[in-house]
Homo-oligomer: A and B are copies of this chain.
């Protein structure tokens, strides 16, 4: 079959705030082949910019729009997905946004192929089964330690056995107040639940500033400290990892290519590697990175803060890795992220989730439900419309 069309659906909450909450908007991608097969994917981050990267006029031979490497291409198996990815890498080498745009498309290609063959994507990746994962609730720190405690208590009441706090005020004031937040989080979770912390790159590459928090992290039994530094600050990562006694360093969500993720293992000394399939170029490169993690004794984890379509996509690359058990689970997404799919990956009686056993990604996108969130985009150059949003209504929903 051949790729016939790629449609983008830009949806957002009516008000997008300055919270570090990635579930406030979404860019969904629908790929259709000439024989009528359909697949869905989701790009992480800035929808308008990612759409522009698909349709922009070319600047030169290796700064072409993503569309030039995708539309009309053959899609008969996983090797075609890798081949198309190589085309994008070459033809859009100088278009920085290209990997974010292509990630959603690549995910949709896997979904489409799985549906066409009536097998789950993880099976196409070579896994024999989808192993259960322990979801951690991904939360923002409260504005005060008391609020962090309240949030922790509330999420424990929902049954989560692992909780991550991140962003908010953490790292922005002194190490003393950060320690109070960590103490409050541990108090709320009790002694046995997993506590994880996300610093959101707050220290850039200041290892001493990060190290000031190590005592409070370790006395509270924090499993990992995530993204203390900029995504490519490998030396700083390695220095901090060497100074830590029990807490491991985590990172990788910023990787927009395989090499960045491999470098974080090779040079950064991370214990946990967190990959967002919506950024790294999709499921194929994420699977290859998971293989490197396994070979290196590093634990692979998904990064997901949006819909359950994105969650299923991000579980696939390590679905079959039984020992890589923990998974990120957006615990408080905006309603948009909930409404994107008809079905959801809900924790079972053991409090565990797994990548679906149904074909493709196993998720049903609910276009009717997201219609109220859809935003209309039009991009024109020299009066020619390069992109116009698919129109909601019966045709769209057919």
Contact = CB atoms under 8 A, between A and B. Distances in A.
Contacts of A257: 230, 232
A322 interface: no
- What interface size band does chain A fall in? 35 or more
Contact of A60 (B16, B262, B378): B16
A62 B45 CA distance: 10
Interface stretch (A21-29, A178-186, A344-352, A358-366): A21-29
Given A60-B19, A376-B382, A381-B375, A45 B94 contact: yes
Contacts of A379: 48, 52, 377-379
Contact of A94 (B16, B22, B59, B232): B22
Contacts of A53: 46, 49, 97
A205 B201 CA distance: 28
A24 B59 contact: yes
A48 B381 contact: yes
Nearest to A230: B259
Interface in A48-63: 48-49, 51-53, 55-63
A17 interface: yes
A96 B231 CA distance: 12
Contacts of A94: 22, 44-46
* Interface secondary structure of A, over-half rule: loop
A60 B96 contact: no
A166 to B, nearest CB: 12
B59 A267 contact: no
A257 B233 CA distance: 10
Interface in A200-258: 200-201, 205, 230-235, 254, 256-257
A95 B49 contact: yes
A100 interface: yes
Given A52-B49, A267-B267, A96 B93 contact: no
A383 interface: yes
Contact of A233 (B21, B234, B259): B259
A380 B377 contact: yes
B58 A48 contact: no
A260 interface: yes
A96 B46 CA distance: 8
Given A22-B94, A230-B257, A232-B257, 17 more contacts: A16-B58, A17-B61, A19-B61, A22-B59, A25-B57, A45-B94, A45-B96, A46-B59, A46-B94, A46-B95, A48-B379, A96-B96, A96-B100, A230-B259, A234-B267, A376-B382, A377-B381
16 contacts: A18-B58, A24-B60, A46-B56, A47-B56, A47-B59, A48-B379, A52-B52, A52-B379, A53-B97, A96-B97, A205-B259, A234-B259, A263-B267, A267-B267, A376-B381, A378-B378
